[in-house]
Amino acid sequence: MAFVRTNTSRANYETPGELYRDLPRRPGAVPGLWAHQSEMLKTFTSSANEPDVALELPTGTGKTLAGLLIAEWTRRKRRARVIYACPTQQLAHQVAAAAYREGINTSLLVGRHADWPSTEHAAYEAAEAIAVTTYSSIFNSNPQLADADLILFDDAHAGEQYVGEAYSVGLNRWEATAEYTAVLDVIAPALDGVFLERLRSNQPDPGIGKDVQMVVPLRQPDMVAKLDSVLNSFSAPHSYRFSMIRAGLASCLVYVAYSGILIRPYIPPTHQNHLFSDARQRVYLSATLGEDGELERAFGRMSILRLQQPDESTAPRYGRRFFVFPELVEDVDATELSRSIVQAAGKALVLAPRTDTAMGTARALAQPGWPVLGLDHVADSIAPFAELDHGICGLAARYDGLDLPGDSCRLVGLDGVPDQDNLQERFLQSRARAGAALASRVRTRVIQGAGRCTRGPEDTAIVLVLGSDLSRYLTRPEVTDALDSELQAEIRFGRENSQGAEDVLSNIDAFLHQDTDETWRTEAEPALSEYRREMAQRAPDGTDAVLLQTSGGEP
């Protein structure tokens, strides 16, 4: 038997783009780097030693490949461990598959760490492969990944949801009744007497469901100590989450509603997580970074360097979307018009803030005999829905991490304004009216949701804006002005062409059959191009103040 000798690559690549040329790519790999990707990778090289760097590449313009090249370039150049983190297991599988096609070695480490393949785990620790994992593998009470030189966070705009959840204790009234009651007793002295009585009633009054109040335990005598004692008595899974915030419990806020209680700091103490904070560099990848300090607040960082985006002229146009507003069409039932549009498209993905809304709308739009899928059907992969000829899939709060390119689905329905994902957001929206603090997060969810079916430059999809709340939301200048010019043009064009029902259906037909009907190309595209040139993206009022407060400055 011959002894094995491993050949270690000593090639020195000046940029991640240079490395790309020598990768042993497999069938299905992308044909080559776009000009804007090469520009962004060169720009990153000059900031390769910055501790926190953010890159923005629009949906469908090669964000994942750019991230993988940065990861592989760093691993080889520094002979160091690199982690590529995704919000969900589903997205982690997609990234690992993309890396395989490009000839980049990865170790897919998702789920319970006890189930991680030993060979894959060892390959990561030896810095022989990039660890592709989830945010939850990093942000937990006992991370099982060895320290990394570089950690990349894909879909970083989702950080608030996944990082914030890790640093919080959530108690559902019906699933954790005893724990809910115990915490309510501790914070009772800080609550209005009438509100407290309503919370303790087993027969809620009609208005209590929307009410959320905030308690600051540090301002109440002995409340922090009492809260610590109660939370410390809870069993798993609450005990795991409590361990993440216990050291800073005095800085936590308590949001209380009839449906549940949420205990969390406003800014997660990620500095206490050594895997995260001790990394030499953290890179944040997103199609929509924003500019108002939301990214810094979500990840608990004082400052994140945002790389200048490449010249727009070098970036490929992302897929075309046709926004339709059934609620704005006069003299027609909006639901019936929506059903007709879905029938023409053949299938639809429905996204909403809550499961009951998403599934209810999905069932209302489904044609006779069409299957209606929910989260249980696509938890591991979107393939069961993508492979259907006809069907509806309803999902709650899944505005990112889903890829439905080409003909796998050509309609996404957005139902409701996604502005109340948890009790903190409900409080900010309904009580504090903290518009600037929440606005960027809400816009990002709408942008991401609208792009689920346009993953590449050639993709085309209908965006069905469902419900009067979201329809009105997308008419507000302070909302649309903060969007990029392409999206502003698409929304304006969609509103203008959501008039008579017959015209809407005729336009839908032209949009869906661009391969045989020249109407869209000759009439719609020129108008969209003109609108795009007229539009200018503008930072919303309050942006500078929020950014200063996040970084510890004074507005």
293 located within any domain: yes
Residue 481 maps to a domain: yes
Name the residue with tokens 């030189």. Answer: 149
Of the candidates 538, 536, 509, 535, the one whose C-alpha atom is nearest the C-alpha of residue 524 is: 509
Q: Per the domain annotation, does 543 fall within a domain? A: no
Query: Which residues of the chain have a pLDDT value below 70?
Result: 1, 4-11, 60, 290-292, 310-316, 431-437, 540-555
The reply to whether 246 and 291 lie within a common domain is no
Tell me the C-alpha distance between 354 and 418, whole Å. Answer: 9
Please write the tens of the pLDDT for every residue from 352-369: 999 999 999 999 999 999
Domain total of the chain: 3
**338 and 480 both lie in a single domain:** yes
User: What pLDDT was estimated at residue 550?
Assistant: 46
**CB of 424 closer than 8 Å to CB of 473:** no
DSSP-derived secondary structure letter, 432: I
Q: Is residue 20 part of a domain?
A: no
Domain assignment of residue 551, yes or no:
no
Length of the chain: 555
Strand ranges, E, within 353-476: 372-373, 391-396, 411-415, 460-466
Q: Is 438 exposed, middle or buried (0-12, 13-18, 19+ CB in 10 A)?
A: buried
Indicate whether 367 and 447 sit together in one domain: yes
Quick check: is 396 in a domain? yes
444 contact partners, CB below 8 Å, separation of at least 6: 157, 288, 290, 294, 399
From residue 140, how far is each of 113, 117, 327, 475, 477 by CA, in Å? Answer: 12, 20, 43, 40, 40
Q: Which amino acid is at 25?
A: R
What is the CB neighbour count within 10 angstroms for residue 125? 15
Based on the fold, state whether residues 302 and 336 are members of the same structural domain.
no
**Are 415 and 499 part of one and the same domain?**
yes
Residue 308 CB contacts under 8 Å (≥ 6 apart), including other chains: 43
Same domain for 104 and 132? Answer: yes
Side-chain half-sphere CA neighbours of 349 within 13 A = 34
Nearest of 493, 480, 491, 490 to residue 538 by alpha carbon: 480
Going by C-alpha positions, the residue among 337, 369, 292, 367 that lies closest to residue 506 is: 337
* 79 in any annotated domain: yes
Token output for 96: 């690992």
Angle between helices 63-78 and 35-45 (to 10 degrees): 40
Q: For residues 362 and 414, give the distance between their C-alpha atoms in angstroms, rounded to a whole number.
A: 11
DSSP per position, 499-535: S-HHHHHHHHHHHHTTTT--HIIIIIHHHHHHHHHH-
Q: Are residues 363 and 258 in the same domain?
A: no
Q: Report whether 156 contacts 54 (CB < 8 A).
A: yes
Q: What is the pTM of this model?
A: 0.87
Which of 313, 328, 346 marks a domain boundary?
313
Residues 384 and 441 occupy one common structural domain: yes
Strand partners, 412: 349, 463
**Residues 470, 441 share a domain:** yes
- The answer to whether the CB of 397 falls within 8 A of the CB of 353 is yes
Asked if residue 21 is part of any domain, the answer here is no
The per-residue pLDDT for range 433-488, each reduced to its tens digit, is 566 667 888 888 999 999 999 988 889 999 999 999 999 999 999 899 999 899 99
Task: State whether 58 and 170 are in the same domain.
Answer: no
CB 314 within 8 A of CB 294: no
Which of 202, 233, 268 lies at the terminal end of a domain, its last residue?
268
Residue 187 and residue 214 share a domain: yes
Q: Are residues 291 and 354 in the same domain?
A: no
The range of the structural domain enclosing residue 458 comes to 318-534
Q: What distances in angstroms separate CA 24 from CA 43, 64, 130, one per listed residue?
A: 25, 18, 16
Q: Compute the distance between CA of residue 249 and CA of residue 252 in angstroms, rounded to an integer.
A: 5
Pair type for strands 460-466 and 320-324: parallel
Alpha carbon distance 497, 555 (integer Å): 42
Rounded CA separation 277/23 (Å): 31
Q: Which long-range contacts (CB under 8 A, 24 or more apart) does 332-336 make?
A: 332/501, 334/466, 335/364, 335/365
d(CA 508, CA 499): 13
24-27 own/partner pairs: CB under 8 Å, 24+ apart: 24/103, 25/101, 25/102, 25/103, 26/100, 26/101, 26/102, 26/103, 27/101
Tell me which residue of 41, 11, 30, 154 sits closest to 103, measured CA to CA: 30
Spatial CB neighbours of 79, under 8 Å, sequence gap ≥ 6: 127
CA neighbours closer than 13 Å in the CB half-sphere of residue 272: 15
Q: Residue 325 is part of a domain; what is its CATH number? A: 3.40.50.300
Local structure of residue 304 (DSSP, 8 states): -
